[in-house]
Chains A and B, each alone.
Chain A
Amino acid sequence: MSPLEYTTFWITVGAYSLGAALALWGIVFRRDQPLAVATFVCGAGLLSNCIAIGARIAFTGHLPVASRYENVLFGTAVVMLFSVASLVKRPSLRPILVFTAPFALLMLGYALLNQPRYTTMSLVLDNLWMFVHVFFAWLSYGAYSLAAAVGVLYLLRARKSLEGLPEEQIPTIFARLPSMLVLEDLIFRYIIFGFITHVVMIVSGAIWARDLWGKYWNWDPVETWSLLSVLLYGLWIHLRVTLNWGGKRMAGLAVAAIITVIFAYWGTSLLSSTDHSLDDLKLRTPMTEVQ
């Protein structure tokens, strides 16, 4: 890491930690002020995150997708960008920071564990479709994570203990949240955005795979799991639009569905060998076949 990247990386970690702590304080002690401060702190963290990415690009000369560290650093910025941007439009959604800020912190921790040393762009990754693929992947993951966070808020707001309470007796934090119907619609909107970008991600990946491996689709574990998660979100949309499902079960499904996305990114490579592992994304040169 360059000194600028190192400094801004740790500022980002500090800002997201502080943001998460303030958001938690706001939720636990039912205060609005810490949540407002948490938004500003996370915004500052996002700015610092973007500077870290910029410093990385300036040093390596390529977009930050060549290693798992770069990939996750970029993804963290996208997830937080979604959170902060949605809070600018709807400040009443501030409690979502209690989920997104720790999630971003976890991602940064994972990035750090994956060797932040500089790597040159490998031949396999050096393709325009790769950038499109990764960019849209993070857009969809960002939207889905926000949908899940709003889903959790919905479930908290819909607790039995709050049911039937008059408006003035509902804790301030929850009372200031948008109405349940608006929260439902917001989950839907984020899922729609995530679904569209997810489809673009799969399509761009398929086109790239055709240039690289000669086939649009190889039934690789990551590909299969990614298709599984897009179908799951497709099911969510069908349940909502076709069967008019709503309420707690749809919010719960939005929260559960994010697990498939997280598993597609982190879990599938643990299951079996995949062509998507950045560590193994080398050229396929089977010596035994050639000799």
Chain B
Amino acid sequence: MTTTPLFVKLRVLILFLASGRLAVMLLPVVITVMAIYLFIPQVGQSDPAWVERWVEQKGLVGQLFHRLWLTNLRHSWLFFYTPYGLLFVNLVFCMIKRFPVLIRQSRFPKGVPRVPATSFTLAQEPPVVGDIVRLLSRKGYRSLGGDSCLYGLRGRFSLVGSWIFHVSFLILMVSGFFLMTSPENFRGKLALGEGEPFDLHATSFLSAEVRPSPDLPPLQFWIETIEFVTDDVDLHRFESTLVSPEGTRATVGINRPYRSPPYQVLAEGFGYMPGWIIKDMRGRVVSSGWVKLVPFPLEVEDLFSLGVRVGGLVRVTFYPDYEEIDGEERNRSYEALNPKFKTRIEIDGISVFEGLLEPGQEVSIDNGRLHFFFLPEIRKYTILDIIEEEDYGTPFACFGGMILGLVFRYARIRKEIWVQISENSVQIAGRSEILPALFQEELEAFAGDVAKLSPRLDNGKSLGSGKKIQSRKEEGVT
């Protein structure tokens, strides 16, 4: 093998990169960065103006933090990419370095390995080997050996578990940064009423971090029905039925997304959408529209504009199922059983009407020249989030891998037991990879169990209980 200084240096570097020590050094850095992330306002997480104000208020310290990218940690080379990158490299090297070890450890040995130095002797007549094998097997050990020395091994795949956990974590780190927390996937929000259609390429979204590109596959549906399940004033379920152009139906609700790869449709909220009309004195429609009120939480004041031609502002609190008890106005349920609008209409800042309106009830505004009323029809609407999913299966598989790996690693820790049987004594030794003190207790308990086993006869057969041995001895059997 070449042993040039460069090769030696490279080997040292690789060994350092594959060492647990590096992980132990990097983890506190990552933990500290996370703690800073919560205590210092972050660009992209808080309002940028607020971050600027914070930097100004803190003076020199604030400026220093800002210069060190501590106010934008998720894009900081020093505090984010470098430690995470090193952690990534460390994990990769560790996984490669440990792979041959775990293969070696997962194999069941062909011969009995060397007995560790620490062992204790039981002074008794040795029991039958088969009984010890059965005892080992009952405790989950796979045994090997002959009459004089027995070897039991438990949890030989323990290291495989550790490897699976770390590989899953490694993949999760990559997918986490590029997929899980990525704002790059298309995310649009819109409010759709009953009967309204949706077309991804035709609809203009109320908000979207990234606009849909024309290359995206189509997504079309219309909202057939929206149902609320309530008792008294509490809402228990909310479901919208989506119908595709092919006629297939799907349900979407809170905690119940609709998945149509590569899209995910989430329900974010719901409400009522009454229509409104303004007519002039001759009954001609001056202005009209639908307004999507938000009744959740109920009894919250909403406001909408009556358009440029009228220039008024309507403040409205909607009660789907109104009742008045002792002068207190409240809702009985979410269902529109007795809808009422607590309304205040302002034109040019002057209140022209204030009172309780029923659907269809006309109100004179603008000194009687205009009439405003809500339509009798009140529909329900839902707020939907449209997300373009990327490879969401990978993080899911990694989660499974991490849990499985941990269970594999720690549910069956690697433990070894040696039982050496001589003519008139039994020697027991053991070794545990971790938790040595608890294993020592376990070993002592095992020795106690061995001591309770029936002694062996010269021909190697068990005689059963001690009493029987005594009685047979008396009979002169031995």
Contact = CB atoms under 8 A, between A and B. Distances in A.
Partners in one complex: yes
Interface of A: 120-121, 123-124, 126-127, 179, 181-182, 184-186, 188-189, 192, 195-196, 199-200, 203, 206-208, 210-219, 221, 224-225, 227-228, 231-232, 234-235, 238-243, 268, 271-272, 282-285, 287, 289-291
A208 B180 CA distance: 14
A216 B410 contact: no
A203 B168 CA distance: 13
B255 A290 contact: no
B406 to A, nearest CB: 5
A203 B234 contact: no
Contacts of B438: 182, 185-186, 189
Interface centre among B20, B253, B435 (most CB of A within 10 A): B435
Contacts of B292: 290-291
Contact of A228 (B34, B234, B383): B34
A289 B207 contact: yes
A2 to B, nearest CB: 19
Interface centre among A192, A200, A216 (most CB of B within 10 A): A216
B34 A213 contact: no
Contact of B38 (A179, A213, A234, A268): A268
A157 B434 CA distance: 22
Given A184-B437, A235-B31, A285-B294, A210 B24 contact: no
A208 to B, nearest CB: 8
B176 A285 contact: no
Interface string B105-131: 000000000000000000000000000
A84 to B, nearest CB: 20
Nearest to A284: B268
Closest 8 CB pairs of A and B: A242-B20, A285-B269, A181-B437, A203-B399, A123-B254, A235-B27, A120-B234, A127-B255
B467 interface: no
B417 interface: no
Interface stretch (B132-140, B241-249, B296-304, B369-377): B296-304
B257 interface: yes
Contacts of A218: 181
Contacts of B294: 285, 287, 290
B38 A221 contact: yes
B410 A211 contact: no
B24 A291 contact: no
Contact of A238 (B20, B271, B434): B20
Nearest to A203: B399
20 contacts: A120-B234, A120-B236, A123-B254, A123-B255, A185-B435, A185-B438, A188-B434, A188-B435, A189-B435, A196-B406, A203-B403, A212-B254, A212-B266, A221-B38, A224-B38, A228-B35, A231-B27, A238-B20, A240-B434, A271-B38
Contacts, number: 149
Q: Main SS of chain A's interface residues?
A: helix
B254 A219 contact: no
A4 B201 CA distance: 59
Given A196-B407, A219-B74, A238-B27, 19 more contacts: A123-B237, A124-B254, A179-B437, A186-B438, A196-B403, A199-B402, A211-B257, A213-B266, A214-B187, A214-B266, A216-B395, A225-B34, A238-B20, A239-B24, A242-B23, A243-B24, A271-B38, A282-B296, A289-B189
B28 interface: yes
B423 interface: no
B401 to A, nearest CB: 10
Nearest to B19: A242
Nearest to B435: A185
B385 A214 contact: yes
Contacts of B269: 283-285, 290
A121 B236 CA distance: 7
A199 B191 CA distance: 36
A185 B235 CA distance: 49
A232 B24 CA distance: 10
Nearest to B35: A228
Contacts of A283: 254, 268-270, 296
Contacts of A272: 38
A83 B175 CA distance: 39
A271 B254 contact: no
Contacts of B440: 181
B21 interface: yes
A74 B344 CA distance: 47
A146 to B, nearest CB: 15
Nearest to A125: B255
Nearest to A183: B437
Contact of B402 (A203, A210, A285): A203
B410 A196 contact: yes
A127 B253 CA distance: 12
B37 A224 contact: yes
Contacts of A225: 34, 38
Contacts of B392: 210, 216
Interface centre among A181, A227, A240, A290 (most CB of B within 10 A): A290
A289 B304 CA distance: 13
A221 B46 CA distance: 12
A214 B264 contact: yes
Interface string B182-205: 000001010100000000000000
B441 interface: yes
Contacts of A227: 34
